[in-house]
Amino acid sequence: MAQNTQSVTVRGDLNAAGLHFGIIVSQFNNFITDRLLAGALDALRRAGANDSKVEVVRVPGSFEIPLAAKKLAAAGRCDAIVCIGCILRGETAHFDYVASEAARGIQLAQLDTGVPMAFCVLTCDTLEQAIDRAGLKSGNKGYEAGLSAIEMASLSRKISGKSRAARRLQRR
C-alpha cells in the first residue's frame, strides 16, 4: 500500500533587506582580514542590506572572535553574524590550538544563542594560500561567508516564523 505524502523543503534566500548583521573581524593578519571584510560587506550590500544595519566589531585575534560573537548575538540586534579571521601556520603548535578553539568557540556561540554565525576564519599553511582565499585564485571567502549569513538568517526566520525583533519583544 503506497502512502501519498509530500515533503516540504524550506530554504533560506539571498535577500538581505530588513535583516541586521554583525561582522566580527580579527585585527591580527589584517592584510588578509580586511580583504575578507570587504568581501562580506560587498555580499551583504549586493543582497540589499542597509549599511546602517551592519555592525562591524574588531577583536585582537581569532581566539577572541567567539566571545565577541556570543556577546553580540546575546544583545539581540543581529539576525546573523559573520566571523572573520586568519590563522597562519607557524613553527609551533600554537596554530593548532587557536584554529581549533576559534572553530569550536564560534560553533558553541551559535548553538548557545541560536544566532547563525558564518565561519570565515582562514586556517592556511602559507600567506600565499590566505591571499588566494581573500580575493585572488580561490575567490573571496568573506563574500561567500556573507552570502551564507544572509541565507541562514533568512532560513532562521522561516523556521521560527518571526523576525529577530519580534523574538526580542517576545522575551521582554
Q: Quick one: what percent of the chain has pLDDT higher than 70?
A: 91
Query: Is 94 an annotated catalytic residue?
Result: yes
For residue 164, is pLDDT > 60? no
Tell me, what's the pLDDT at 136? 74
pLDDT per residue over 14-54, tens digit each?
999 999 999 999 999 999 999 999 999 999 999 999 999 99
Catalytic annotation, pick one of 17, 94, 97, 126: 94
Tell me, what's the pLDDT at 8? 86
Cell 516540504 -> residue: 8
Looking at every residue in the chain, the average pLDDT score rounds to 92
Tell me, what's the pLDDT at 4? 63
Q: Which residue ranges form the domains of the chain, and what is each CATH number?
A: 21-166 (3.40.50.960)
Positive or negative, the CA dihedral 28, 33, 34, 40 is negative
Average confidence (pLDDT) over 71-98: 94
pLDDT category of residue 163 using cuts at 50, 70 and 90: low
Q: Quick one: what percent of the chain has pLDDT higher than 90?
A: 78
CA pair distance 41, 37, nearest whole angstrom: 6
pTM of structure? 0.88
Tell me, what's the pLDDT at 149? 98
Q: Secondary structure of the chain in the HEC alphabet?
A: CCCCCCCCCCCCCCCCCCCCEEEEEECCCHHHHHHHHHHHHHHHHHCCCCHHHEEEEEECCHHHHHHHHHHHHHCCCCCEEEEEEEEECCCCCHHHHHHHHHHHHHHHHHHHHCCCEEEEEEEECCHHHHHHHECCCCCEHHHHHHHHHHHHHHHHHHHHCCCHHHHHHHHC
